[in-house]
């Protein structure tokens, strides 16, 4: 079977509480919300870019991307992400969309491909960014997040010892010609969820006592206790979903986030069941101790949105229907972007062969020693603010835009925007501040993709 070699997650910094969305209802849930220049591509990149890069660059032979909220039509998200990560051309790249089960669909296929022996290392990335209709936030589970899992035929953190999918023809809720179609919830639970889960449990499970954590990712999870009990499970087997109350339900990413969370909780034998129009089952055996708990780290770095109006400003990037709302389009040339991709996208600069001076932008001659011989140099994504200014005319949800000139660690100087500036007093950057570069959108209400580097405090 395949092994989970490495993983990482990406949860936006900002949260809004149910009480801020609807103060009179007195609920205590929280939802992770993208900043205005974040989307599922930037979240997916953030999750994947921090994996073992030596494996990604030299041995990776597949990327599977899963989401229920795609940003592109007629363009592969998997190929686009592979290019952002500077992965080899020509590798397997597939998209899984249209279902909140697509995250485990991708994991299931990756496991099958590695079992076949034809593939050795496959990157599975799932991300979802969904905004409910205004006024429907508490009746629609939502939260923004991403998870990246590197599957390999080499031993790693955990082993997938069994995996199988059981389909169901009943679609509980779906969209058809722009309309939402929903069956009676009681009929959906009985004819769909209960019927499928009962049959698939009997087929897949041989020893219920073998598991010390059972993850059931389903909107109907609360009524599943009796079904599992009939198969031999006990209540103590079930892993508590501690993520939904803190970040909301993250759609296609949620099942894999729950899996990562239980791995970090040091569970040894895990059963994962992901239900949406059928159930994907996985049996996972943990192999090694986790050194860094990424879930807890990202749950702690939180900034709360203080008003519903601020939430509406953030969701402008997701779905904004005001008559005064217009998309903006920066000047950009696809040919120029492709030609300068090494510099603009991969942050590869130049190093003078004579004096060692580092340049971000190309130079025909070294300004220090006047020679013209350079070698390629990989620039750092961390640095120190050399100077900064504020731009009041550049379009943004939270003006002004703060422009930073950054001296990168190891050499090179770049000029980028600061981001996550919704509440600047909590994100203050000054001359001398240490910062890191993150991938975001240059213009928040863009007419086409314009991903580039911005800076946040380190």
pLDDT tens profile 74-102: 999 999 999 999 998 899 999 999 899 99
Residue 320 confidence (pLDDT): 45
56 versus 268: the higher-pLDDT residue is 268
Residue 27 confidence (pLDDT): 72
Residue 318 confidence (pLDDT): 41
pTM for this prediction = 0.93
Exposed / middle / buried, residue 181 (Cβ in 10 Å: 0-12, 13-18, 19+): exposed
Region 370-378: mean pLDDT is: 95
Cα distance between residue 255 and residue 360, in whole Å: 41
Cα distance between residue 316 and residue 451, in whole Å: 17
| Domain spanning 334-457: CATH 2.40.50.840 | yes
Closest CA to 282 of 270, 298, 297, 300: 270
Q: What is the pLDDT of residues 331-345, one digit of tens each?
A: 666 777 788 899 999
> With contact defined as beta carbons under 8 Å apart, do 217 and 255 qualify?
yes
Region 261-273: mean pLDDT is: 95
Residue 220 confidence (pLDDT): 87
From-to residues of CATH 3.40.47.10 in the chain: 2-317
Closest CA to 320 of 450, 445, 419: 445
> With contact defined as beta carbons under 8 Å apart, do 366 and 352 qualify?
yes
Region 62-74: mean pLDDT is: 95
Residue 332 confidence (pLDDT): 65
66 versus 333: the higher-pLDDT residue is 66
Q: Where are the beta strands (DSSP E) in 243-347?
A: 269-275, 278-286, 303-304
Closest CA to 77 of 163, 146, 8, 158: 146
Region 390-402: mean pLDDT is: 86
Region 107-113: mean pLDDT is: 98
Q: What is the pLDDT of residues 309-327, one digit of tens each?
A: 889 888 874 444 455 556 6
pLDDT band at 178 (very low <50, low <70, confident <90, very high): confident
Percent of the chain whose pLDDT exceeds 90? 67
Closest CA to 35 of 450, 447, 438: 438
Q: Which CATH class is domain 2-317?
A: alpha beta
From-to residues of CATH 2.40.50.840 in the chain: 334-457
Q: Where are the beta strands (DSSP E) in 81-132?
A: 92-96, 121-128
Residue 188 predicted with pLDDT over 90: no
> With contact defined as beta carbons under 8 Å apart, do 106 and 64 qualify?
yes
Q: What angle do CA 40, 45, 50 make, to 5 degrees?
A: 140
Residue 58 confidence (pLDDT): 67
Residue 213 predicted with pLDDT over 80: yes
In three-state secondary structure terms, 222 is helix
289 versus 85: the higher-pLDDT residue is 85
pLDDT band at 219 (very low <50, low <70, confident <90, very high): confident
Mean pLDDT of the chain: 90
Least confident piece of the model among 19-28, 154-163, 386-395: 19-28
454 versus 190: the higher-pLDDT residue is 454
Residue 331 confidence (pLDDT): 62
- State the helix-helix crossing angle for 40-49 and 77-84, rounded to 10 degrees: 50
Residue 424 confidence (pLDDT): 83
């Amino acid at each position: 079977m395949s092994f989970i070699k490495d993983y990482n997650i990406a949860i936006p910094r900002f949260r809004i509480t149910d009480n801020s969305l609807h103060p009179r209802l007195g609920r205590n849930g929280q939802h992770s919300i993208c900043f205005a220049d974040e989307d599922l591509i930037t979240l997916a990149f953030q999750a994947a870019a921090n994996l073992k890069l030596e494996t990604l660059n030299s041995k990776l032979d597949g990327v599977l991307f899963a989401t229920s909220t795609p940003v592109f039509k007629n363009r592969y998200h998997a190929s686009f992400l592979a290019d952002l990560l500077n992965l080899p051309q020509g590798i397997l790249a597939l998209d899984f969309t249209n279902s909140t089960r697509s995250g485990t669909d991708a994991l299931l296929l990756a496991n099958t491909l590695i079992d076949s022996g034809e593939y050795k290392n496959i990157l599975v990335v799932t991300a979802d960014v969904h905004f409910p209709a205004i006024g429907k936030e508490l009746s629609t589970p939502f939260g923004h997040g991403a998870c990246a899992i590197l599957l390999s035929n080499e031993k790693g953190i955990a082993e997938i010892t069994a995996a199988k999918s059981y389909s169901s023809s009943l679609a509980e809720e779906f969209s058809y010609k722009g309309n939402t179609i929903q069956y009676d919830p009681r009929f959906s639970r009985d004819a769909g969820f209960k019927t499928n889960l009962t049959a698939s449990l009997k087929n897949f499970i041989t020893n219920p006592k073998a598991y010390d954590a059972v993850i059931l990712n389903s909107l109907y999870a609360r009524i599943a206790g009796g079904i599992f009990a009939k198969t031999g499970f006990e209540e103590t087997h079930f892993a508590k979903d501690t993520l939904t109350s803190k970040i909301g339900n993250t759609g296609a990413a949620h099942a894999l986030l729950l899996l990562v969370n239980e791995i970090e909780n040091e569970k040894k034998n895990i059963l994962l069941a992901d239900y949406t129009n059928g159930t994907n089952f996985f049996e996972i055996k943990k192999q090694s101790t986790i050194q860094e708990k990424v879930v807890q780290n990202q749950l702690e770095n939180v900034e709360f949105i203080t008003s519903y109006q601020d939430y509406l400003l953030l969701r402008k990037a997701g779905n904004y229907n005001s008559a005064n709302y217009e998309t903006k389009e920066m000047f950009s040339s696809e040919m120029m972007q492709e030609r300068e991709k090494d510099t603009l996208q991969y942050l590869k600069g130049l190093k003078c062969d004579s004096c060692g001076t580092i340049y971000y932008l190309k130079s025909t001659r070294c300004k220090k020693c006047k020679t013209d011989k350079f070698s390629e140099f990989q620039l750092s994504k961390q640095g120190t603010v050399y100077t900064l200014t504020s731009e009041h005319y550049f379009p943004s949800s939270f003006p002004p835009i703060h422009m930073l000139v950054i001296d990168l660690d190891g050499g090179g100087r770049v000029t980028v925007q600061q981001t996550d500036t919704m509440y600047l007093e909590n994100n203050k950057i000054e001359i001398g501040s240490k910062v890191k570069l993150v991938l975001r959108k240059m213009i928040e209400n863009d007419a086409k993709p314009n991903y580039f580097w911005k800076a946040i405090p380190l």
